[in-house]
């Protein structure tokens, strides 16, 4: 089991970029939900090759969890998915479809979170003048959600943190559905009645991994805006 700190630009969506030229290729959707069983247990990913060379790709599955501080843990989970094709070559200018189907435990009672990786396999090009290779890996976020699952998000506490000018926000999710936070709006009100609002990209960058797992707890450190005094009590509304 490994531990990683991830940066999210969307709901639990993760992209790992390793020395890659811009617009090399793209994968979509980057985040999606699956049912534990039935027709909703499958989706289709698409890969666009915008380069002038064929792309050799391998598709993998990992289960993911986060601790309270947002450190991510991943474990191999290829047995939980049927992926067709698991390896593929996408010709220049073409689009390739990848079918992803969950075949794991159909009786799960909480959201299971996975990364379906679409990883470029380095291939030696005999015509290249150097040994440098550019590789780009995409990690798409898959959430397997039980039927009828709901999010039950609770704001446990908001207080000035040990680091000056920051607040510590503790959230808990007692529901069976994960709680995505990247598209929410956070409104803080201090003891003097001042308000501070955080949303969009600034919020996602602040939260890092912007998800509270089902049955999980997260602790976030939020910098106070200029002029926003950390006067207790600090209240928070999330919409």
pLDDT tens for 162-218 read 999 999 999 999 999 999 999 999 999 999 999 999 999 999 999 988 999 999 999
- CATH code at 2-144: 2.60.40.10
Strands (E), 106-178: 112-120, 135-144, 153-160, 166-173
- Work out the mean pLDDT of the chain and round it to a whole number: 89
| Cis ω before 233 (30° cut-off from 0) | yes
Domain 153-238, CATH class in plain words: mainly beta
- Main-chain phi, psi angles of 80, to 5 degrees: -85, -5
pLDDT band with cut points at 50, 70 and 90 for residue 35: very high
Fold agreement between 2-144 and 153-238: yes
CB 64, CB 8: distance < 8 Å: no
pTM value?
0.85
Strands (E), 6-121: 14-18, 25-28, 31-34, 42-49, 55-66, 71-76, 81-84, 87-90, 95-102, 112-120
Pairing of strands 135-144, 195-199: unpaired
Helix (H, G, I), strand (E, B), or coil: what is residue 19?
coil
The structural domains of the chain, with segments of one domain joined by +, span: 2-144, 153-238
pLDDT band with cut points at 50, 70 and 90 for residue 19: very low
CB atoms within 10 A of CB 5: 10
List the structure tokens of 31. Answer: 């985040």
CA 79 from centroid of its chain's CA atoms: 21
Please report the pLDDT score of residue 91 as a whole number. 96
**pLDDT above 50: residue 229:** yes
List the structure tokens of 206. Answer: 């602040």
Choice between 183 and 123, residue whose per-residue pLDDT is larger: 183
Please report the pLDDT score of residue 130 as a whole number. 57
Choice between 122 and 238, residue whose per-residue pLDDT is larger: 238
pLDDT band with cut points at 50, 70 and 90 for residue 136: confident
CB atoms within 10 A of CB 29: 14
| Cis ω before 209 (30° cut-off from 0) | no
């Amino acid at each position: 089991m490994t531990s990683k700190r991830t940066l999210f630009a969307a709901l639990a969506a993760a992209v790992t970029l390793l020395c890659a030229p811009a617009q090399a290729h793209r994968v979509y959707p980057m985040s999606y939900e699956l049912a534990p069983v039935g027709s909703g247990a499958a989706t289709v990913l698409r890969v666009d090759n915008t380069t002038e060379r064929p792309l050799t790709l391998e598709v993998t599955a990992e289960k993911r969890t986060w601790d309270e501080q947002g450190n991510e843990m991943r474990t191999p989970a290829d047995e939980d998915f049927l992926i067709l094709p698991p390896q593929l070559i996408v010709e220049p200018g073409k689009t390739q479809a990848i079918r992803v189907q969950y075949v794991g435990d159909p009786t799960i009672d909480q959201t299971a979170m996975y990364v379906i990786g679409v990883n470029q396999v380095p291939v030696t090009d005999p015509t290249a003048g150097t040994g440098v290779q550019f590789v780009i890996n995409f990690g798409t976020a898959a959430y397997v959600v039980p039927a009828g699952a709901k999010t039950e998000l609770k704001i446990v506490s908001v207080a000035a943190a040990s680091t000056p000018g920051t607040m510590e926000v503790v959230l808990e999710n007692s529901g069976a559905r994960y709680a995505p936070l990247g598209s929410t709006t956070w409104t803080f009100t201090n003891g003097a009645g001042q308000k501070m609002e955080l949303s969009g990209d600034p919020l996602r960058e602040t939260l890092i991994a912007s998800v509270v797992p089902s049955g999980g707890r997260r602790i976030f450190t939020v910098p106070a805006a200029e002029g926003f005094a950390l006067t207790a009590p600090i209240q928070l509304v999330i919409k």
